[in-house]
């Protein structure tokens, strides 16, 4: 066995790769096999790429491979096949510098010296000078993988980040632009910069659709029926298949066109590129490569690539990526080398970490700001499908399959049906040989059994329910881009909510301010809009420390910044482009108080009016912004007050962070208590700080200084208290979910105590429940990582602490009784993002226990939200996520059901998008999901019964060498089955959420029990009718002149006389007619029996199309049974039977209906117990891991951890159980 390598290691699309080369003798064998099987082998190899490769190729090393076979390492284990190609290039590394005489080492230099040759001659000269090398690569999912000799594996070139450039290197080596040669050389590797969504031709789509195993099976069925002279039925199936294929093609084509239009709308634009000799030239955006330097036009543009700003500022609308409509300010990447203290703080550039300096592809640059004559420049970092937008489009083009038990069980169920068909197949062959039937008839009739057992309308029937559910969701303002997920939403048993904008109102209202003077807090004030405070640092900080900007005369930006700025009543002015061009180093943004707030100075009569205005003018210019970073939890600005020599720095951010950056003697001693007091009441608290900067810091130095130098030794100014009101719908919705046994979890970027307070206010944590804060600390100074457990103070002051703790332990004894967890336990864990990171790294075995009762996760970064969703899924929760789309993209995509409360009709990140901006959409989605899931079960059970009932009829008729007629099949399949299937799916969802959850798969005891009992009932009654008819006194072998309705003539007819006129298939006979009547009624009986209503769907009698269809069919069948119409009888090939036998058939049908309804009712009531009793399961072991864990923890005396104890991580050797120990605090 040759080596197996891993590509994309550690990433979402990690795959194992194996190398193969074509083998001639294997190809010849396969060719012969294809001919012998009439092309079927070719189809099989098309469906199974791994078989195809193994059947036609031999293993070789990945380096020498002609074909590569890749298998995803996730739970789906999907196979992909790619052809290895070879390209010629002057070097192996896209970042090699063609102009310096080395191709072996990678020089990431950006500029070259030009000689007098033209670019074309230069390139020829270069190619002549270097020996071209062969580079092997393959393309998969719009990504090129190149062979690397250093790593001995295939690798992807993403862009500039491959070089691991530092921030200072971006400025020093990549800011001068590329020569044309380098650009063309890099384009060989990175390709054209466009996200090309190729819309496949209708013919291609048609071939792909038709080669689906299901349609091939239908083709086989149609050929077989035609050979058996069932022309009408075959034609009807062909007609249905054509309609099905046409609608499917239309939908797929429409989705491709929509995606293509969405991507292509602004993907190709003209850009200005700076060349290595400082020339600016116009180029098409498709020519851009990583390392190019582009000029961002002042009137804005749509970004054609991901690029990092190296000079100037941009205001960008990123709604296309995040769903967040508030414009974001992007500043230039800091250059630590030009700062004061050398390399300190010079980290590697990373798009995620430096996203405040990165312009992403597809986002809209609204306007740019620049200083005297300087252009706004950005270095291209990624192009094409490597960009953020490209990856988004790739995830839509090549989605991960939705793994859901229902679909796996459906395949298993079909296999069972095929096995049943196999039995019938053998039975019909044996029977036919015994009766000396001709060989052709034996083959056709035995194969016919298989086509009967696997219903051809199954896929159409299964999708009907989902399509109806999607339509109902659209009506209530929920849009869905992944319809298969609707069913999965019916299984959700835990929902994570973002806090701000989801549970609470989007904006924050200013509740008050609490200033600090002389190291102590003053009394809280409602508003800083006072004449006495106008020149205070506190108000200056509020007015200047923000990232607001004017767009078309309107101030816009972060809602929190906006509220703070509006509270000061100050005015914001921005310099126009003309002013910026005229003056040197003009202040880009100025803030000043309104005239009425400034004290009136005394004016002497002889004073110059202009001088007077200057002396009274008080304005602050913002020299440099360090934008808000969620990682740093703060933002900072450097300002200069008019007429002052020295500059000031203002800082605002999370109180704990701001206090840690201030001088100790400026922070009040009661800071922690005051902060805790506010956060416990659910207020959002922001701290402000100020510092006078040294006079040596000039304007130019400030532009390049590292923010760490500015954000130190600050003076603490005080707190701003913002109120974040709960949305009125929130408590009610959370209560509904709690009643329905659906756990709710809060995941927020806000402060821990604020989050706990909001969780209590909205009922996520009941008032009597205890909150345990897990405070995890990373390893430090040789000490192991540890978790300090502390109990948050309980707002209900009705009991002392000691009994409360005993109460925790007592109530843990009965955690799970039965198969469902109690909806709410008596303790909840809360932790911050930092603690979560430490726990995931050092306490892996504790993580499942913590997420089992974790209710509040505060200060979580976007990627941590995704990790939390994964952690919850790993203990078998079906996780829903509801957020406002901005920083929840990853979690929304990863959850089983992600719903974004975005204004945009379909936020691309999330499977569901709600128009109503509150969480009331969550229970609605779960209700519709449950209804769709139950509909899928109903339809599947009905389709299984339909094929088995027909199979029983045909098998019984084969025993007398008869069969159902062409038009009988047609009537059953079109008039009964199709109408019933498409109307039984129309039941709307039940009005409220119930605590019970629907089963997740078809292979569950009660469900199988229900299907099997109905099969036995139908088999019993059909066999009874089949055997009973031949025992009747009037019964004789039917002939064309038989007339059982008129018994006197029937008894005198000799059988022999009419033998010649018997039809070939022996369709017309008493057995056939009897079984046709009984089976037709049986289809309707099981349809009604399986159409369940409460507790997940509205009752069937409210589904009027279904009721109407069922009643019409009953009426028609009864009309057929009791009223003799020769035209209909001849058409359906049924014969006349005496009235007494018709009444007997009616009695059989009535008894069948009574037994079916009674048995199904009993299965619903006692199915669980019967199955448990039959399988001798006395004590049920829960299937889901979280239930298992809850049972274990209910008997664990050391859980939950006691207050003021510490859990330490043990040294690494033993990561199994017991990798931590609990130590009481001294």
Strand runs (DSSP E) across 866-908, as ranges? Answer: 879-883, 897-900
DSSP state of 785: P
Classified as helix, coil or strand, 688 is strand
* 705: phi then psi, degrees, rounded to nearest 5: -70, 150
Spatial separation of the C-alpha atoms in residues 32 and 56, rounded to whole Å: 12
Q: Which tokens hold the place of 235?
A: 């034609």
Gap between the Cα atoms of 1064 and 636, Å rounded: 92
In terms of Cβ atoms closer than 10 Å to its own Cβ (0-12, 13-18, 19+), residue 87 is: middle
Angstrom distances, CA of residue 343 to CA of 59, 167, 1055:
50, 10, 108
Candidate list 97, 99, 498, 750, residue with the active-site label = 498
**Reduced to 3 states, what is the DSSP secondary structure of residue 82?**
strand
CA terminus-to-terminus distance, the chain? 59
Instruction: Please count the CA atoms within 13 angstroms of the CA of 214 that sit on its side-chain side.
Output: 15
User: 333 and 417 in contact (C-beta within 8 Å)?
Assistant: no
Pairing of strands 912-914, 897-900: parallel
346 noted as active-site residue? no
Query: What is the 3-state secondary structure of 201-246?
Result: CHHHHHHHHHCCHHHHHHHHHHHHHHHCCCHHHHHHHHHHHHHHHH
Rounded Cα–Cα distance for residues 1112 and 975 (Å): 11
| Residue among 375, 371, 379 at smallest CA distance from 354 | 379
Gap between the Cα atoms of 767 and 749, Å rounded: 23
Please give the distance of CA 1038 from its chain centroid, rounded to a whole number.
63
Token pair in block for residue 83: 């052809």
Beta bridge partners of 625: 637
Closest by CA to 1172, choosing from 1051, 1043, 1005, 1035, is: 1005
**Contact yes or no for 170/413 (Cβ under 8 A):** no
Phi-psi region of 368 (alpha: psi -120 to 50; beta: other; left: phi over 0): beta
Give the other-Cβ count within 10 Å of 440's Cβ: 10
CA distances from 870 to 502, 536, 867, 890, 895 (A): 21, 48, 5, 11, 8
Residues 6+ apart with CB under 8 A from 379: 160, 170, 174, 175, 291, 292, 293, 307, 308, 310
Tokens of 392: 């988004």
Kindly report each contact of residues 506-510 with a partner whose C-beta sits within 8 Å and lies 24 or more positions away, as own/partner. 506/559, 506/884, 506/917, 507/559, 507/560, 507/563, 508/559, 508/560, 508/563, 508/684, 508/722, 508/723, 508/724, 509/563, 509/722, 509/723, 509/725, 510/563, 510/564, 510/567, 510/720, 510/721, 510/722, 510/723
Q: Are the CB atoms for 428 and 105 separated by under 8 Å?
A: no
> Do 49 and 80 touch, CB atoms closer than 8 A?
yes
- The set of residues, in sequence order, having a beta carbon less than 8 Å from that of 143 and lying 6+ positions away, is 156, 385, 394
Residues marked active site are found at: 498
């Amino acid at each position: 066995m040759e080596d197996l390598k891993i590509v994309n290691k550690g990433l979402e699309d990690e795959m194992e790769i194996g190398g193969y080369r074509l083998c001639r003798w294997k190809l010849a064998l396969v060719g012969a096999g294809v001919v012998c099987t009439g092309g079927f082998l070719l189809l099989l190899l098309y469906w199974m790429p791994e078989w195809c490769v193994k059947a036609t190729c031999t293993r070789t090393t990945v380096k020498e491979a002609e074909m590569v076979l890749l298998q995803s390492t996730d739970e789906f284990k999907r196979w992909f096949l790619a052809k290895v190609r070879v390209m010629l290039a002057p070097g192996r590394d896209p970042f090699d510098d063609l102009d310096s005489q080395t191709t072996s080492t990678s020089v990431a230099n950006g500029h070259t010296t030009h000689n007098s040759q033209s670019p074309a001659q230069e390139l020829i000269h270069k190619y002549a000078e270097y020996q071209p090398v062969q580079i092997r690569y393959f393309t998969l999912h719009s990504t090129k993988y190149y062979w690397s000799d250093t790593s001995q594996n295939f690798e992807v070139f993403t862009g500039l980040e491959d070089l691991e450039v530092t921030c200072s290197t971006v400025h020093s080596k990549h800011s001068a632009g590329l020569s044309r040669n380098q650009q063309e050389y890099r384009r060989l590797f990175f390709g054209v910069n466009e996200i090309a969504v190729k819309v496949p031709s209708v013919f291609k789509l048609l071939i792909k659709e038709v080669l689906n195993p299901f349609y091939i099976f239908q083709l086989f069925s149609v050929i077989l029926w035609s050979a058996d002279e069932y022309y009408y039925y075959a034609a009807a199936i062909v007609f249905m298949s054509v309609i099905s294929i046409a609608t499917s093609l239309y939908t797929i084509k429409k989705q491709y066109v929509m995606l293509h239009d969405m991507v292509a709308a602004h993907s190709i634009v003209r850009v200005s590129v700076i060349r290595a000799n400082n020339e600016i030239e116009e180029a098409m955006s498709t020519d851009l490569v990583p390392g190019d330097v582009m000029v961002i036009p002042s009137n804005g543009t749509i970004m054609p690539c991901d690029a990092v700003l190296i000079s100037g500022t941009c205001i960008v609308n990123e709604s296309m990526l995040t769903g967040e409509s508030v414009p974001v300010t992007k500043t230039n990447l800091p250059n630590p080398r030009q700062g004061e203290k050398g390399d300190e703080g010079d980290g590697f550039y990373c798009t995620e970490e430096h996203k405040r300096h990165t312009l992403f592809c597809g986002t809209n640059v609204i306007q740019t700001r620049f200083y005297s004559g300087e252009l706004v420049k950005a270095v291209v970092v990624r192009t094409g499908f490597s960009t953020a937008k490209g990856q988004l489009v790739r995830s839509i083009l090549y989605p991960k399959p939705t793994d859901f038990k229902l679909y796996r069980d459906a395949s298993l169920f079909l296999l069972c049906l095929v096995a049943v068909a196999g039995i019938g197949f053998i039975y019909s062959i044996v029977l036919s040989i015994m009766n000396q039937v001709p060989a052709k008839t034996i083959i056709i009739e035995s194969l016919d059994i298989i086509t009967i057992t696997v219903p051809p309308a199954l896929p159409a029937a299964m999708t009907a329910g989902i399509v109806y559910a999607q339509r109902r969701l659209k009506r209530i303002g929920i849009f869905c881009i992944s319809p298969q997920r609707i069913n999965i939403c019916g299984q959700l048993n835990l929902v994570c909510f973002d806090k701000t904008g989801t549970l609470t109102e989007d904006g924050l209202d200013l509740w008050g301010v609490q200033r600090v003077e002389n190291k102590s807090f003053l009394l809280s004030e409602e508003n800083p809009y006072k004449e006495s405070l106008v020149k205070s640092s506190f108000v200056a900080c509020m007015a200047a420390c923000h990232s607001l900007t004017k767009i078309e005369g309107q101030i816009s930006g972060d809602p929190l910044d906006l509220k703070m700025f509006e509270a000061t009543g100050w005015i914001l002015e921005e310099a126009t482009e003309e002013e910026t061009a005229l003056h040197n180093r003009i202040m880009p943004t100025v803030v000043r108080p309104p005239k009425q707030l400034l004290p009136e100075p005394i004016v002497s009569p002889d004073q110059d009016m202009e001088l007077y205005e200057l002396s009274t003018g008080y304005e602050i210019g913002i020299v440099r912004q360090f934008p808000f970073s969620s990682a740093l939890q703060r933002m900072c600005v450097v300002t200069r007050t008019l007429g002052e020599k020295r500059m000031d720095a203002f800082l605002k951010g999370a109180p704990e962070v701001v206090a840690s950056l201030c001088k100790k003697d400026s922070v009040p001693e009661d800071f922690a208590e005051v902060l805790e007091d506010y956060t416990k009441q659910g207020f959002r608290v922001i701290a402000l700080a100020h510092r006078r900067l040294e006079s040596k810091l000039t304007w130019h130095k400030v532009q390049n200084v590292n923010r760490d130098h500015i954000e130190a030794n600050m003076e603490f100014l005080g707190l701003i208290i913002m109120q974040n009101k709960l949305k009125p719908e929130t408590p009610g919705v959370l209560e509904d979910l709690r009643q329905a046994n659906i756990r709710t979890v809060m995941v927020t970027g806000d402060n821990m105590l604020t989050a706990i307070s909001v969780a209590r206010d909205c009922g996520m944590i009941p008032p009597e429940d205890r909150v345990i804060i897990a405070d995890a600390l990373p390893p430090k100074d040789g000490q192991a990582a540890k978790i300090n457990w502390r109990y948050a103070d309980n707002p209900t002051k009705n009991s002392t602490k000691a009994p409360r703790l005993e109460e925790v332990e007592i109530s843990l004894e009965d955690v799970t009784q039965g198969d469902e967890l109690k909806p709410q336990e008596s303790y909840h864990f809360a932790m911050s993002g930092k603690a979560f990171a430490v726990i995931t790294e050092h306490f892996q075995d504790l993580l499942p226990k913590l997420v089992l009762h974790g209710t509040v996760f505060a200060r979580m970064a976007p990627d941590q939200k995704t990790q939390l969703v994964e952690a919850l899924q790993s203990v078998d929760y079906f996780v829903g996520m509801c957020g406002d789309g901005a920083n929840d993209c990853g979690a929304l995509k990863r959850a089983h059901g992600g719903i974004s409360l975005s204004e945009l009709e379909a936020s691309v990140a999330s499977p569901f998008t709600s128009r109503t901006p509150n969480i009331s959409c969550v229970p609605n989605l779960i209700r519709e999901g449950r209804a769709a899931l139950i509909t899928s079960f109903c339809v599947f059970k009905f389709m299984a019964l339909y094929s088995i009932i027909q199979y029983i009829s045909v098998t019984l008729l084969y025993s007398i060498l008869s069969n159902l007629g062409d038009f009988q099949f047609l009537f059953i399949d079109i008039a009964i089955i199709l109408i019933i299937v498409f109307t039984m799916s129309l039941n709307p969802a039940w009005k409220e959420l119930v605590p019970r959850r629907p089963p997740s798969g078809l292979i569950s005891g009660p469900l199988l029990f229900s299907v099997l009992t109905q099969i036995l009932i139908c088999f019993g009654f059909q066999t009874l009718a089949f055997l009973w008819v031949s025992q009747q006194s009037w019964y004789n072998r039917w002939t064309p002149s038989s007339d059982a309705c008129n018994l006197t003539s029937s008894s005198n007819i000799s059988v022999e006389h009419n033998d010649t006129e018997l039809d070939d298939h022996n369709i017309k006979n008493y057995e056939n007619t009897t079984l046709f009547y009984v089976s037709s009624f049986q289809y309707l009986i099981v349809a009604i029996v399986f159409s369940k209503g409460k507790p997940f769907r509205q009752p069937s009698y409210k589904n009027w199309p279904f009721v109407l269809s069922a009643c019409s069919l009953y009426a028609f069948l009864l009309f057929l049974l009791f009223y003799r119409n020769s035209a209909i009888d001849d058409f359906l090939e049924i014969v006349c039977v005496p009235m007494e036998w018709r009444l007997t058939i009616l009695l059989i049908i009535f008894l069948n209906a009574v037994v079916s309804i009674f048995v199904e009712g009993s299965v619903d009531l006692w199915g669980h117990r019967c199955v448990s009793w039959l399988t001798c399961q006395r004590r049920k072991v829960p299937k889901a891991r979280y239930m298992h864990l809850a049972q274990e923890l209910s008997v664990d005396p050391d859980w939950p951890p006691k207050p003021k104890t510490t859990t330490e991580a043990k040294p690494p050797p033993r990561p199994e159980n017991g990798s931590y120990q609990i130590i009481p605090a001294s």
